[in-house]
C-alpha cells in the first residue's frame, strides 16, 4: 500500500479531500501545491490508524480491497439494479442527447445538471446540494439549502476545488444531500459510502460531470492574462456561449479589479485539452471517461448534428432508477428536449478522451514505471497495442503537461510562458499530424 504522502509526492492526488475527514489524530486541511493543485497537509504526523483509513477512501489507492478494486466492482455494489452494461459506458439504464428548456441558456451545455438539481429538491429526494458556487469572486464547493436559485451554479468551473468540508459537516446536517463531481470525486464518495454504509442514505444521489482532465489553477491565471488582465481578477466564466455560432465557439471571461469584464474566444488560445496543458498527472492514470459510478452522467454533446448549435446540448447516461425516473418525467412534462440514443453515440461524443485515457493507459503506465513513478491500482483496458506514432504523441503530451506546470510556476507571465512552451507544443503538433496521416 502506498502511504498517503507518497500519493501526494507522486502527483496522484486530485484534491477531492475525502481523506481529510478520516484523519482524527492530526489537523488536516487542503492546501495549494506549488503547481496549483489542492492536496492534503497536516500540522503533525497522522497516526498509523488514520493513515490507513485515509488511504481506504483515496480513488488512487494502489491496493484497494478486492471487492472495490475498480469501477466495475464498485458499480456492482452501488448500481447493481441497472439493466445494461457496456465496457466503455459502465452500468446504465438509458442514454440521451439534448437540453433542459428552462436552463439551457444559463448553463455550460444543455442545462441538464441544473434541471436534475431542481427536481431533486422539488421532489424532496434531497434537502441539500453540495455543489460548486461562487465564493468571494472565485469558486468552491458549498452546501446549499433548498431555498436557492439553482441557476446560480449552473456552469462548469475549471479550477481546483475540494469536497473536504462535506464530510466534516455531514454528521451534523439534517436531511439528505446530493453531490456533483468529476469521476475521481464520485469514486471517492462511493469508497466513503462503502466503509460508512449510513452515508448511502445520507447521500442518495450523485451527479457525475464528464471530465476532460482536471486543470491547475495556473490554467485560469493563463486564460486571465490571455484575456488582457494582468492583476487580480474575479468571477471568471469558462463557458460563455455564442448563440449565433457553434457549441465549440465559446469564450472565457473574467472581471478585473476595476470591474471591467474581459473576454477571449477559447479557439484563439489553442488546444487546451488535447495537449495536456496544466493537467493533473493523476488524470493520465484514470480510465473513467463517463463517471461510471454516478447516478447520472452528464457532459457536452460533441457530436455532428448537435455541436453546430451554439446554445449547447448535453449527453446523458442514467445509471439508477431515480435518475431514469427524473429524466422520463421531464420528458413527459415537456421540460426536456431529448433524443433517446444508442449508448454507442455517447461513446462517440467522447471518443478523443477514450483514445487517450483507455487506449493509452498501458503505455503510459510503462513509461511512469520506467521513470520511477509510483502507480495506483490500474484498470488496464482491453485494447490493441498502440502504434509507434501514437506512442510518440503520448510521450510528447506528458512533456507538454510537465513543462506547462513548471514554466508557469517559474515565470507566471503569458509572454515568457508562450515563448518557453512554443518548442514542445510545436513538436506535439508535428507528431500528431504524422500520427493522423499514418492511421
pLDDT tens-digit profile of 176-205? 999 999 999 999 999 999 999 999 999 999
> Taking 80 as the threshold, does the pLDDT of residue 73 lie above it?
yes
**Which residues constitute the domain of residue 260?**
217-268
pLDDT more than 70, % of the chain: 97
Could you give phi then psi for residue 50, rounded to 5 degrees? -70, -40
Instruction: Show which of 352, 374, 403 is a domain's final residue.
Output: 352
What's the number of domains the chain is made of?
Answer: 3
Q: Classify residue 413 as exposed, middle or buried by CB count within 10 Å of its CB (0-12, 13-18, 19+).
A: middle
Confidence of residue 145 (pLDDT cuts 50, 70, 90): confident
Residues ≥6 apart with Cβ < 8 Å to 156: 108, 209, 238, 239
The helix/strand/coil state of 317 is strand
Overall average pLDDT of the 405-421 stretch: 97
Residues 177 and 238 both lie in one domain: no
Residues 100 and 209 both lie in one domain: yes
**Cα 189 to Cα 179: distance, rounded to the nearest angstrom:** 9
DSSP state of 74: H
Residues 155 and 45 both lie in one domain: yes
Residues 252 and 182 both lie in one domain: no
Q: Is residue 273 part of a domain?
A: no
Closest CA to 116 of 347, 335, 349, 310: 335
CA torsion through residues 6, 37, 394, 301, sign: positive
Q: Is residue 274 part of a domain?
A: no
Are 373 and 10 in contact by the 8 Å Cβ rule? The answer is yes
Considering all CA atoms of the chain, what is the largest pairwise distance in Å, rounded to the nearest integer?
59
Mean pLDDT for the chain overall = 93
Overall average pLDDT of the 346-362 stretch: 95
Q: Is residue 122 part of a domain?
A: yes
Closest CA to 243 of 99, 118, 132: 99
pLDDT tens-digit profile of 205-238? 999 999 999 999 999 999 999 999 999 999 999 9
> Taking 80 as the threshold, does the pLDDT of residue 384 lie above it?
no
Residues 48 and 177 both lie in one domain: yes
**Cα 144 to Cα 112: distance, rounded to the nearest angstrom:** 18
Q: What is the pLDDT of residue 65?
A: 95
Residues 9 and 130 both lie in one domain: yes
**Cα 370 to Cα 364: distance, rounded to the nearest angstrom:** 10
What the block records as the C-alpha cell of 307 is 455541436
Instruction: Show which of 309, 328, 352 is a domain's final residue.
Output: 352
**Cα 379 to Cα 66: distance, rounded to the nearest angstrom:** 13
**Cα 43 to Cα 58: distance, rounded to the nearest angstrom:** 20
Are 187 and 288 in contact by the 8 Å Cβ rule? The answer is yes
Residues 244 and 370 both lie in one domain: no
**Cα 27 to Cα 31: distance, rounded to the nearest angstrom:** 12
- Of 23-32, 68-77, 156-165, 243-252, the one with minimum mean pLDDT is 23-32
What is the Cα Rg of the chain in Å? Answer: 21
Are 54 and 3 in contact by the 8 Å Cβ rule? The answer is no
Q: Is 335 left (phi over 0), alpha (psi -120 to 50) or beta?
A: alpha
Q: Is residue 28 part of a domain?
A: yes
pLDDT tens-digit profile of 323-348? 999 999 999 999 999 999 999 999 99
Give the containing element (helix H, strand E) for 415: helix 414-438
Residues 189 and 46 both lie in one domain: yes
Residues 85 and 160 both lie in one domain: yes
Q: Is residue 275 part of a domain?
A: no
Which residues make beta-bridge pairs with 138?
135
Residues 173 and 297 both lie in one domain: yes
Are 315 and 327 in contact by the 8 Å Cβ rule? The answer is no
Reduce the secondary structure of 177-244 to three states and give it as a string: EEEEECHHHHHHHHHHHHHCCHHHHHCCEEEEECCCCCECHHHHHHHHHHCCCCCCEEEEEEEECCCC
What the block records as the C-alpha cell of 409 is 510556476
What the block records as the C-alpha cell of 408 is 508557469
Q: Is residue 333 part of a domain?
A: yes
**Cα 381 to Cα 365: distance, rounded to the nearest angstrom:** 12
Q: Is 291 left (phi over 0), alpha (psi -120 to 50) or beta?
A: left
Are 326 and 308 in contact by the 8 Å Cβ rule? The answer is no
Q: What is the pLDDT of residue 382?
A: 63
Residues 196 and 116 both lie in one domain: yes
Q: Is residue 75 part of a domain?
A: yes
Closest CA to 224 of 256, 260, 249: 256
Q: What is the pLDDT of residue 157?
A: 83
CA torsion through residues 328, 332, 334, 337, sign: positive
Residues 204 and 156 both lie in one domain: yes
Amino acid at each position: 500500500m502506498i502511504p498517503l504522502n507518497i500519493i501526494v509526492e507522486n502527483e496522484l492526488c486530485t484534491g477531492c479531500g475525502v481523506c481529510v475527514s478520516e484523519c482524527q489524530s492530526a489537523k488536516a486541511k487542503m492546501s495549494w501545491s506549488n503547481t496549483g493543485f489542492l492536496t492534503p497537509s497536516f500540522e503533525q504526523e497522522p497516526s498509523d490508524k488514520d493513515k490507513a483509513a485515509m488511504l481506504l477512501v483515496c480513488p488512487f489507492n494502489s491496493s484497494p480491497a478486492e471487492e472495490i478494486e475498480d469501477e466495475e466492482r464498485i458499480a456492482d455494489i452501488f448500481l447493481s439494479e441497472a439493466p445494461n452494461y457496456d465496457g466503455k459506458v459502465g452500468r446504465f439504464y438509458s442514454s440521451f442527447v439534448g437540453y433542459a428548456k428552462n436552463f439551457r441558456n444559463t448553463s455550460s451545455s444543455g442545462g441538464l445538471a441544473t434541471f436534475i438539481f431542481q427536481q431533486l429538491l422539488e421532489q424532496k429526494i434531497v434537502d441539500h446540494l453540495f455543489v460548486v458556487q461562487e465564493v468571494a469572486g472565485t469558486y468552491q464547493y458549498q452546501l446549499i439549502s433548498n431555498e436557492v436559485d439553482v441557476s446560480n451554479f449552473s456552469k462548469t468551473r475549471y479550477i481546483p476545488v475540494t469536497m473536504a468540508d462535506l464530510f466534516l459537516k455531514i454528521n451534523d446536517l439534517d436531511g439528505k444531500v446530493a453531490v456533483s463531481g468529476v469521476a475521481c470525486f464520485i469514486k471517492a464518495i462511493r469508497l466513503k459510502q462503502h466503509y460508512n454504509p449510513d452515508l448511502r442514505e445520507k447521500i442518495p444521489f450523485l451527479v457525475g460531470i464528464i471530465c476532460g482532465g482536471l486543470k491547475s489553477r495556473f490554467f485560469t491565471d493563463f486564460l486571465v492574462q490571455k484575456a488582457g488582465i494582468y492583476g487580480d481578477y474575479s468571477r471568471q466564466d469558462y463557458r460563455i456561449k455564442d448563440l449565433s455560432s457553434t457549441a465549440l465557439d465559446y469564450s472565457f471571461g473574467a472581471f478585473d479589479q476595476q470591474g471591467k469584464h474581459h473576454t477571449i474566444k477559447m479557439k484563439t488560445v489553442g488546444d487546451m485539452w488535447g495537449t495536456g496543458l496544466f493537467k493533473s498527472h493523476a488524470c493520465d492514470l484514470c480510465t473513467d471517461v463517463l463517471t461510471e459510478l454516478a447516478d447520472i452522467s452528464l457532459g457536452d454533446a460533441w457530436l455532428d448534428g448537435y455541436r453546430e448549435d451554439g446554445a449547447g446540448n448535453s449527453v446523458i447516461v442514467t445509471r439508477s432508477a431515480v435518475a431514469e425516473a427524473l429524466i422520463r418525467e421531464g420528458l413527459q412534462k415537456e421540460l426536456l428536449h431529448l433524443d433517446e440514443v444508442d449508448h454507442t453515440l455517447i461513446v462517440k461524443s467522447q471518443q478523443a478522451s477514450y483514445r487517450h485515457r483507455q487506449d493509452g493507459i498501458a503505455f503510459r503506465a510503462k513509461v511512469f514505471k520506467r521513470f520511477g513513478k509510483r502507480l495506483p491500482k490500474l484498470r488496464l483496458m482491453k485494447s490493441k497495442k498502440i502504434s509507434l506514432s501514437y506512442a510518440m504523441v503520448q510521450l510528447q503530451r506528458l512533456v507538454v503537461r510537465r513543462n506547462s506546470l513548471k514554466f508557469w510556476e517559474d515565470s507566471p507571465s503569458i509572454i515568457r510562458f508562450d515563448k518557453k512552451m512554443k518548442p514542445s507544443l510545436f513538436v506535439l503538433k508535428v507528431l500528431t499530424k504524422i500520427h493522423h496521416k499514418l492511421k
